[in-house]
């Protein structure tokens, strides 16, 4: 249905554009709020979060199925590369955070210590042992697809980092990167329906990060697999119930993650038609979206809503970048970042072990 709609609407796009221009002459221009920026001071603050937990083994959430007694090992024995920061995926994106910050601020305060920890953790032997865990009976779907997505984001960040240590780390990580890409290609045709949730298993988020990697690394096989799945899942979607969000434990927006993925799949003209049908309320310059409210940042589930504010913001920034006529979405994104950014360095490990990565990715997309 949506493919036919795209073709039909493109024929009359000129008329629609003219009408839109007439309407805009009667409205006030959008006044953009000051976009948040990643300063050296903020970079040091954000770096402190993963740096403090990257090699801290406990507390730890293994999130595993025990197939036999060989699975009863310590977190570091099971995951010698990614055992810190409470759980596997948080450790992976903690490593990503430090690499992203080093790329942008080579003279960050703890640059040498960061490189030292990265070299110790992402060693050739450690990564081979991580692969061994995936190959244990019953573990092939481990961290599907949230952790998978962050492995590819980590690999993408290493690939685009112009530093000698990056080549060594990228080579060490490559066997795990290859395993994850093959896992995606094998799994996606089997997934008959997407997971439209606000937590780890959200399909759109997993596809979005994986597609970024595929495009950056020119992995045509992976990108075609992702695009085919995305169109099968989402091409005919319309009227996403954004008013139902957030759920109490969300750290991802099902509606906005899907929209952010589809803007990477479609041309700008096609995406505008799809987006206007999918989230029509966001086309209104007066639209408001209240940031998520955290009632207790010591609660590991309730603090998810800080993550929701960051992930909503990066989606909205990128959507407005693809559709400049919806620049008002940037103000909503900025409100979301500003709501949660001051509170994430508060000593509550339930949030500090992972929120820095979400804040950083949001700030990286604030333009």
Q: What is the pLDDT of residues 307-352, one digit of tens each?
A: 999 999 999 999 999 999 999 999 999 999 999 999 999 899 999 9
In this model, does residue 229 exceed pLDDT 80? Answer: yes
Which has the higher per-residue pLDDT, 13 or 158? 158
Q: Is residue 12, in this structure, part of any structural domain at all? A: no
The size of the chain, in residues, is 367
- Give tens-digit pLDDT for 256-285: 999 999 999 999 999 999 999 999 999 999
Mean pLDDT value of segment 13-17: 42
Q: How far apart are the first and last CA of the chain?
A: 33
Rounded Cα gap, residues 107 and 147, in angstroms: 29
In angstroms, rounded to a whole number, what is the distance separating the alpha carbons of residues 214 and 216? 6
**Nearest 5°: CA angle at 68, between 63 and 72?**
55
- Say how far apart CA 304 and CA 325 lie, in whole Å: 31
- For the segment 81-120, what is each residue's pLDDT rounded down to a tens digit? 999 999 999 999 999 999 999 999 999 999 999 999 999 9
For the cut 50, the answer to whether the pLDDT of residue 11 exceeds it is no
8 pLDDT more than 80: no
Domain contains 315: yes
Does the pTM surpass 0.75? The reply is: yes
Predicted confidence band of residue 224 (pLDDT cuts 50, 70, 90):
very high
> Distances in Å between the alpha carbon of 171 and those of 117, 149, 155?
17, 18, 10
Is 33 domain-assigned? yes
Indicate whether 21 belongs to any domain.
no
3 confidence band (pLDDT: 50, 70, 90)? low
Q: Sign of the CA dihedral 320, 325, 329, 331?
A: positive
- Quote the pLDDT of residue 240: 98
Instruction: Report the CATH number that the domain containing residue 220 is assigned in CATH.
Output: 1.50.10
Query: Distance (Å, rounded) from C-alpha 128 to C-alpha 132?
Result: 6
Looking at the structure of the chain, the number of domains it has is: 1
pLDDT over threshold 80, residue 23? no
Domain that holds residue 184: 2-6+27-364
Residue 12 has pLDDT above 90, yes or no: no
15 located within any domain: no
**CA 312, CA 362: separation in Å to the nearest integer?**
9
The yes-or-no verdict on residue 21 having pLDDT over 60 is no
Q: How far apart are CA 284 and CA 207, in angstroms?
A: 28
**Does residue 138 sit within a domain?**
yes
Residue 11 inside a domain? The answer is: no
Cα distance between residue 117 and residue 52, in whole Å? 11
Q: Residue 308: its pLDDT value, please?
A: 98
Q: Are 171 and 119 in contact (CB under 8 A)?
A: no
Q: How many helices (H) and strands (E) does the chain have?
A: 17, 0
**pLDDT tens profile 287-299:** 999 999 999 999 9
What was the pLDDT predicted at 275?
98
Has residue 27 got a pLDDT over 80?
no
pLDDT band at 16 (very low <50, low <70, confident <90, very high): very low
Question: What is the chain's alpha carbon radius of gyration, rounded to the nearest angstrom?
Answer: 21
Give domain status of residue 13, yes or no: no
Q: Look at residue 328 in the predicted model and tell me its pLDDT.
A: 97
φ, ψ (nearest 5 deg) of residue 261 = -70, -45
Instruction: Give 218's pLDDT tier (boundaries 50, 70, 90).
Output: very high
Average pLDDT, rounded, for the chain: 93
């Amino acid at each position: 249905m949506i493919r036919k709609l795209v073709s039909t609407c493109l024929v009359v796009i000129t008329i629609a554009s003219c009408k839109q221009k007439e309407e805009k002459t009667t409205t006030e221009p959008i006044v953009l709020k000051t976009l948040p920026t990643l300063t050296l001071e903020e970079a040091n603050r954000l770096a402190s979060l993963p740096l403090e937990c990257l090699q801290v083994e406990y507390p730890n959430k293994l999130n595993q199925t025990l197939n036999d007694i060989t699975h009863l090992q310590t977190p570091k024995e099971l995951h010698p590369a990614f055992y810190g920061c409470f759980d596997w995926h948080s450790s992976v994106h903690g490593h990503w955070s430090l690499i992203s910050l080093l790329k942008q601020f080579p003279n960050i305060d703890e640059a040498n210590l960061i490189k030292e920890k990265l070299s110790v953790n992402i060693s050739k032997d450690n990564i081979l042992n991580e692969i061994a865990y995936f190959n244990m009976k019953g573990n092939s779907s481990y961290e599907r697809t949230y952790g998978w997505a962050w492995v590819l984001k980590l690999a993408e960040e290493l690939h685009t980092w112009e530093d000698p240590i990056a080549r060594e780390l990228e080579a060490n990580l490559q066997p795990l990167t290859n395993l994850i890409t093959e896992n995606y290609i094998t799994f996606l045709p089997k997934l008959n329906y997407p997971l439209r949730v606000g937590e780890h298993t959200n399909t759109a988020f997993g596809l979005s990060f994986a597609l970024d990697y595929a495009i950056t690394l020119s992995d045509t096989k992976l990108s075609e697999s992702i695009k085919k799945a995305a169109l099968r899942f989402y091409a005919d979607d319309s009227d996403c119930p954004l008013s139902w969000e957030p759920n109490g434990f969300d750290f991802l927006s099902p509606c906005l993650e899907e929209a952010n993925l589809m803007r990477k799949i479609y041309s700008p003209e096609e995406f505008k038609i799809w987006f206007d049908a999918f989230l029509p309320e966001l086309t209104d310059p007066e639209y408001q979206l209240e940031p998520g409210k955290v009632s207790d940042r010591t609660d590991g589930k309730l603090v998810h809503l800080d993550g929701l504010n960051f992930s909503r913001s990066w989606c909205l920034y990128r959507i407005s970048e693809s559709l400049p006529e919806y620049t008002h979405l940037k103000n909503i994104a900025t409100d979301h970042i500003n709501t949660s950014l001051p509170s994430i360095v508060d000593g509550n490990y339930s949030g500090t072990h992972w929120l820095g990565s979400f804040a950083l990715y949001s700030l990286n997309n604030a333009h």
